Structure formats: C-alpha cells, structure tokens
Chain A
Amino acid sequence: MRMPLLRLEGLTKAYPGVVANDDVSFEIGTGQIHALLGENGAGKSTLVKMIYGLVKPDKGEMILRGQPFAPGQPSDARRNGVAMVFQHFSLFDAMDVAENVALGMENPPPLRDLARRIRDVSEDYGLPLDPSRLVGELSAGERQRVEIVRCLLQDPKLLIMDEPTSVLTPQEVDILFRTLRKLSSEGTSILYISHKLEEIRALCDEATILRGGHKIATCDPREKSARELAELMVGQVLHPPERPARPMGDVVLSVEKLSLKSNNPFGTSLKDISFTLRAGEVLGIAGVAGNGQDELLLMLSGELRAPSAQVKLKGLPVGHLGPNARRKRGLVSAPEERLGHAAAPDMSLTSNALLSASERKGLASRGFIDWSATESFAQQIIERFDVRTPGTHVLARALSGGNLQKFVIGREIELDPDVIVVNQPTWGVDAAAAATIRQALLDLAGKGAGVLVISQDLDELLEVADSFAALNEGRLSKVRPAKGLTVEEIGLMMGGAHDMHVAHEASA
C-alpha cells in the first residue's frame, strides 16, 4: 500500500430535503488512479466539490499529506496541489487558450511566458494546443485539453477529473488514458469520476462506489466484472433491453444530399447529408458533441427548414414544413436539452403535454383547449412510463432529469408516430430510467415506426441500433449495419483522434 495522499473521514453534506453525502470515508494513495463511481445523484459531484473547496462539508474532515485540509475556496485547494478538470462550465469561449489557462492558475506568469509553457507542457503530454486560439473555436476534445493543461501547469498532487471521456472519441480516450498513466507514474494521484465501467476497469487501481450519498464499497475494479460493478452502483439487477426480431418495412424517412447552415455562430453546418430510414428500423447516429447533432435534430424536427424535396416523409416532401406540420404527418422529435427545449420549465406537465400533442391528439378545437382530455393524456404518459411525480400539475422544472426525460420521450412515443427522432435520449439519466427509455424506443420500432437515435454513448447505440452512422464535422458517414461493428471502426467513423495521433506518435 502506497502512502495515502488524501484521507476523507465521515464527510457529510446535506441540502434542504436531501442528504448528498452521508458519512463518506476513503483514502487516495500517492500516484494512485482512484475511481469514484456512481449514478447521477449519487453524490459524486458534491464530494469532489468539497475536496475542491466549492462546498463546505457539514461534518467530517479531510487529511492531505498528514495535515488537516479544509479549503474555504478553490484557490486554497489549488495552493495545496489539488486541481480539477470540470465536466463543463469552466471555459470562456470568447477568450483565448492562454487567458483561459491563466484564469485557472493562482499566480500565472506573464501571458507571453505562459504561452510558451503551454506549448511545452501540452507537447510533453501529447496534447497539442495553440495558446492564441479562441476557445469558442475549439472542438470538445481540444477544450478538454485546455482544462488538463491548465491543471498540469500547476504541478498538481491530486488531479480530479469529472466525467472526462463523455465528449471524446474512443481514440481520444486512449490518448487521455496514456496521459493519465504517465502522470500517475510520476506520482500524481488522480480521482477519476465516471459511470463508464469498462473505462474504470481499464484505467483505475481502486474504485469507491457511491449510491444515494452513501459509500457502498471500495474495491479493486479489475477484480470485479462490469456487471458486478453496475449492480453495486445501481443496487438492483439490470436487464438488457429485449429486441424481438422484426421485418423491415418501407422507407419512411429519407434525406438526400442536404447541406444546411447552422443557426448558431459556434455551431456546425450540415454538409451533404444522405440517409434513409425504414419502418421498424432503429438507426443510431454517433459522434462527438458539436459535430452537427443539434443541427441534424433541428433539421429533422422542422425547427430549421430545408429545401422541401430533400427531406421526405413516407415519400412526400416535408423539408419546408415547420415542427407542428411535421408532427401532424407523423414525424415527432425529442431534442437533447430537456429543460427549455423539450419542455417549458415553468409550465405544468399537463401544459407541456399539450404543447406537442394538441395536433395529433386533438386536444384543442376551434381555438379552445380541452383541458380534461389533456390532463388524462398527461396522466397516461406518467403511468405508462413510470414518471415519478406527485401529479400532472407539477412544474416541469421540479422533476429530476431522469423523470423529465421519461416524460418528454413518453409524450412523443404516445403520439404513435411513424418516425421518431431523439437526441441523447438517456443523457444524465439513471440506469433504470435509461433502460425503460431504450426499451420503449425498441417497442415503438417493433410496432413499425422508424426510430432515429442520435447519441454520444456508444454502448447505448450498440444496444439499440440496427444500423449505424457517425457525424463528423457536419458530415454523415455511410450507414452500416450495426452487427459486427467494432469500437475501433466506430471511432474511425467518428473522425478518429482528429489531429492528435500524429503528435502522440511523435512524443511516444
């Protein structure tokens, strides 16, 4: 056993109505890669925020290198050699790489020296970066490099990484792991937060599992199977979704040679997209965030209009139609952003049900809303999709992410569509709810609808998809049958490691 770098003893933090962490204790060894494993809401974020000084624990203490450690703010933590790579929310789009790095440092050198050091460190660790570029123009993988380099420049003793691989291609993940192993061999401890079990088994020396704010176990992840870890994390036995064999029907949706400019200045325009979707088929579209997924969804939902003949629904041109007209004809969609895009946060579930269903379900006639029919429709979604909520009057923002996601996907499925398009259907959703949603999509395909799933979670796509394509910089790869595809092949379809592999081979 290597000497512990950080020991947590009985850390407890309660928020009104919920105990985020209850008496959590474990140790992180020097140079150890320690996984913190748990579902959304298990208390992982709160725990690392306490270590990083963003949140003060109610009870318990931390001991860093034998000294009591109670950071009042992040700068205290940074001074003590604790650095953190955030999942999101910590970069400034309109500022350049060097400024972004300087903002995360205690005593940054003048920007010119800093730029040189950024180049040196980023090349040492195989993470090439140009200090003068604007962060808003970088890819997700490059943005993460900015965060990592920012931490490395401070010579950290403990590096906290919050879900670092959710935005990376498999090849980029490999490079990240090599960097982390190199750091670990140099004596830096790493606290690695994730819910991806295979990654943790490949990378980590030890894993602590949290569930519902409690520590469930600390174990060696290499001695457990992914299934055992999953059951520790979820606390129940999981069943993979069933996929009854089904015949493919006619083409229900086709897109032909479509190029479309993004409506967002930092967005990705679609370039020459072609594909077809048959009745009963589940088409999975992979890709790293920001490669045109949002634009693809907007184009299919009707929020971005296209030349009419290039998007065809059941053989009829619909490219020029808006969302409601497309819904009426049987094409429904559920975007990635639950609050604010798929659902109006400050409206009740009943009102939210009305917003997308009024046309197909006939909930309004001659301008008057049939509230009782709307309410029973909302109630029907809640029952069929096991949405945990006190009732239909509850505001959308009051639901947890998983429950709201079940509601917005269920709302579209209940419309009995011919084609459904979903983006990131299980993002930030706990494993049980994710299984429900995937099963519902498969069932819908079984009833003869075409299902298009856009997702960054490869495991999810391999679980549900019959055919498979990837988005890379706004272009869609050829559609291939999902059966027999390997993760490496998928990674290459997603664009491989962009510009990184060359630099890494040079430094290796």
Chain B
Amino acid sequence: MILGSINPAVLMAALMVAATPILLAAIGELVVEKAGVLNLGVEGMMIMGACVGFIVAVNTGSPIMGFIGAALGGIALSLLFALLTQALMTNQVASGLALTLFGLGLTALLGQGYVGITPPRTPKLDLGPLSDIPFLGRALFTHDIVVYLTIALVGAVWWFLKYSRAGMILRAVGENHDAAHALGYHVKRVRVFAIMFGGACAGLGGAYLSLIRVPQWTEGMTVGAGWIALALVVFASWRPWRAMAGAYLFGGVVVLQLNLQAAGVRIPVEYLSMSPYLITILVLVIISSGKGRSLNAPGSLNKPFHASS
C-alpha cells in the first residue's frame, strides 16, 4: 500500500504549519466581517505582508522585526481599503478585488531585488520534554512560536467577541449599523479598527509563508491562500474555533495532496486543490438559499453605512 509511506506524525506536523498562514488571515477577516465589512483584498494584504516581512527580516536580520514589518505592511494596505470604503463610500467588493490586484503588482515591484535570497531562520520553540512524547511530541510540539501564538490569537478573538464589551459593540455594528448608530456608537471608527486588525493578521499570515513555511520570496507566492482564508470565514460560519478547525482541514488537504503526489497516487491533484473552494461554494449556496441567518452571517455584512442624520 502506497499510503503506508506517509508518516501520520509528520503529516500532522506539516498540517499545522500549512494551516497557520490561512488561519491567521482568516481570523483577521472574521473580525472584519463581524463588523459588517467584506474585504476581498485578503490575498493582496497577505502578499504585502509576505513581501514587506521578507524585506525587513533580511535587512535587519531579525525574523521578529520581519513579522512586525509584515503586520504594518498589511495595515497600510488595509487603510487604503478603509479610506475607499468607509470615507469615500466605494463598493466593498470592487475595492477588495482592486486591493488584491494592487497588492500583487506592488509586491512584484518591491520584491525585485530579493528573489533567491534566504531569510534569517526563525528558531523552533524549545518545549523540552514535551516534544519527546511519542507521536504527539513530533506532531504538536516541534513548531515555531508563531503556530502557538496563532492558536492563542484564535482564543483571544473568541473571548473578545463573546465576552468583552468592545466585542459586543463590534458585533452590534456588524449586525445592524443603523441601530448601532442610533444608540450612539461610532460605526465607521469601529469598522476602520476592524479593517486594520484584518490587515495586520493577513500581513502576519503572508510573512509566515515567506519567512518560515517556504522560506524565500517569489512573486505571487501566496497562490490563493487569501482566497482560501476568505472561504474559510464563510465555511466557519463566522465562529473562531470553527475557523481553526476549517483551517486545519484545508491545511490537511493541502498537505495530503503533496504527500499523495510524492507517494505516487494517481488521482489528479487538482481535485484536492479544488476541494476547499467546492466546499465554500456549497456553503455560499446554502447561505443564499435564505438559511443564511441560521448560519450566523452578520446582518449588515457588505452593506454601506451612511449616517443619514
């Protein structure tokens, strides 16, 4: 049996690494959408983070500085989106798509001198005896710190949305912006902060690709990870822990596809690469068939807000 050549512990470990960048981007986009904004520019912000993070890390020699730079790069691009959609009232879908194209083009320019360079190595976190546990140690405890921080971030976002007052206001703004405005909440301010958070997370996700997972810079290296992250938010029905489960599922599919290829299984890999999108299309069909509310979609998602009074 060919599948026998795949080591499940290694597969699990690879899966966590593959899932981390899309999970980062997805958790950011989840907060943005919870505030009622649909930012389709995740791919653009990710590639921006990948590029800026790479440049900063190479020039400073510090991966940490690289990640900070990536977050700032993502924020910069997301602020452009915020300016367009919140101040100039442009269409969110069109602006998001433009943001993706702009990000891909801009990074191709910025990253020109950096192709083929190796970035400074990000050390694995030393978890001591934990990583010596048979199977689990290899699968769960041999990673860099970003993997664990990402999981912590999912927990933090879950807590923020469910228990904090600021999170409640953010959900209120996304659920019914007219009501939130009537109660005196600053709809646009909340949305701009959410968009910035989304940009930072997408940037970090991009940097994880260019600094740890791949690790090098090539033009267009995110190859659709941002779109998978967007799909993931819908698939997770806007719930943080489900987004994590979904990311590991989609990450698993990606890793499995590579392993199956290596193991010489003769199914066209395209079927597996398609699967995240197929699942998402299914979810979208269910949502638009009128059962969306039961799937927890924010009530004011993708509706422009204009204070009439």
Binding site for B on A (CB under 8 A): 46, 49, 53-55, 73-75, 78, 86, 89-95, 99, 102-104, 108, 136, 263-266
Q: Which residues of A contact B294 (CB under 8 A)?
A: 265
Knowing A74-B183, A90-B179, the reply to whether A103 touches B172 (Cβ < 8 A) is: yes
8 contacts between A and B (CB under 8 A): A46-B309, A74-B184, A86-B179, A89-B182, A92-B172, A103-B183, A103-B185, A265-B291
Q: B238 — nearest CB in chain A belongs to which residue?
A: A94
Q: Which residues of chain A are near B62, meaning CB under 8 Å? A: none
Partner of B171, one of A89, A95, A265: A95
Output the nearest chain A residue to B184 by Cβ-Cβ distance: A74
Beyond the given pairs A92-B172, A136-B293, 8 more chain A to chain B contacts, judged by CB atoms under 8 angstroms and listed by A's residue number, are A73-B184, A78-B184, A94-B171, A94-B296, A94-B298, A95-B171, A95-B172, A103-B180
Distance in angstroms from B162 CB to nearest chain A CB is 10
Q: Does B176 belong to the interface (CB within 8 Å)?
A: yes
What 1/0 mask marks residues of chain B from 156 to 186 whose CB sits below 8 Å from any chain A CB?
0000000001001101100110111011110
| B residues 285-303 touching A (CB-CB < 8 Å) | 290-294, 296, 298-299
Q: A95-B171, A99-B168, A263-B290 are in contact. Are A75 and B176 (CB under 8 A)?
A: no
| CA A102 to CA B172, docked complex, whole Å | 11
Contact B179 A89 (CB under 8 A): yes
Residue in chain B with minimal CB distance to A266: B293
Q: Which residues of B contact A (CB under 8 A)?
A: 165, 168-169, 171-172, 175-176, 178-180, 182-185, 290-294, 296, 298-299, 309
A99-B168, A103-B168, A265-B291 given; A93·B309 CB < 8 A: no
Question: Which of A78, A102, A266 meets B168, CB within 8 Å?
Answer: A102
Complex: how many Å from CA A104 to CA B168?
11
Complex CA gap A438/B168 in Å reads: 46
Question: B290, A264: Cβ atoms under 8 Å?
Answer: yes
- The answer on a CB contact under 8 Å between B309 and A55 is yes
Which A residues are CB-close (under 8 A) to B183?
74, 90, 103-104
A263 to B291, CA, bound (A): 10
Bound state CA distance, A74 and B180, in angstroms? 11
| 4 nearest CB pairs, A to B | A74-B184, A92-B175, A90-B179, A89-B178
Complex contacts, B293 vs chain A, CB 8 Å:
93-94, 136, 265-266
* A136 CA / B298 CA spacing, docked (Å): 13
- Closest partner residue, chain B, to A71 (CB atom): B184
Please measure, in the bound complex, the distance between the C-alpha atom of A280 and the C-alpha atom of B169, giving whole angstroms: 54
A54-B309, A103-B168 are contacts. A93–B182 as well, Cβ < 8 Å?
Answer: no
